Amino acid sequence: MAKSPRTLTSIVAALEEDILFGRLRTRERLIEDELIDRFSATRHVVRQVLVELERKGMVLRERGRSAVVRDFSREEVEQICAVREMLHAHAAALIPLPAPPALLRKLEQLHEAHSKQVEAGDTSGIHRVNNAFHETLFEACGNPFLLQSIRDYAQMSLGFRCHVMVNPFLARRARDEHQAMVAALKKGDRAKLVRLCVEHTRPSKRVYMTMQGWIEPEAPPVRRKR
């Protein structure tokens, strides 16, 4: 029985997840004929998919050659992450404290949903709810232009920052940091909130730099004997 053709949107989403979670590696070629067969799509649709992925910063296309999964130079990663840290710190510094009860309730609901996805190991769900948590948190800064800049750099860094979600230890650590952010909001601890929002971005940078062989792997946590 022939497979039903996939829509452009669903193909983009599928390939985006493959890239984000490391199923497609950096510099790996995306061959049109293989994509046509995989998704039962026309060549026209597949080419539109590659254009959209290029627009999102996920792939690079060169005339006369296959598209490849985009990689980032060490300098690009350092610079993008530095800007993200500044943006997140500034947004955290603007969030009103004590935090409004409605904001706390929504963040707690998202944290609970995120925790369930982490325990289930659902990388797609983790990614979706993680985005919702941070969107809600930074929206509270009250500056729509700052929020848009945060969104832009979140999109720009997608190609290297989502690999932490497939690592159970790092996914749980991110979950715990979300909980700590909510606690800082409740206590009105501005300094801790800003620090958490900055440090929260750093594991994804380290994971990508380790994958590229630029730095040594982080030592696993040592379990203390009781």
Residues 182 and 141: their CA atoms lie apart, in Å, by 15
List of domains in the chain: 8-69 (1.10.10.10), 74-211 (1.20.120.530)
DSSP letters spanning 69-126: E----HHHHHHHHHHHHHHHHHHHHHS-SSPPHHHHHHHHHHHHHHHHHHHHT-HHHH
Q: Which pLDDT score is estimated for 222?
A: 54
Model pTM score: 0.89
Per-residue pLDDT of the chain (226 residues; tens, 9 = 90+): 556 678 999 999 999 999 988 899 889 999 999 999 999 999 999 999 999 999 999 999 987 778 999 999 999 999 999 999 999 999 999 999 999 999 999 999 999 999 999 999 999 999 999 999 999 999 999 999 999 999 999 999 988 888 888 899 999 999 999 999 999 999 999 999 999 999 999 999 999 999 899 998 876 665 555 5
Interstrand relation of 29-30 and 59-60 (parallel, antiparallel or unpaired): unpaired
Q: Which pLDDT score is estimated for 96?
A: 97
Least Cα distance to 77 among 198, 194, 195, 206 occurs for 206
DSSP designation for 215: S
Take residue 221 and report the two structure tokens written for it. 């946590």
Q: Which pLDDT score is estimated for 37?
A: 96
Within 10 Å of residue 99's Cβ, how many Cβ atoms?
A: 19
Q: Which pLDDT score is estimated for 3?
A: 63
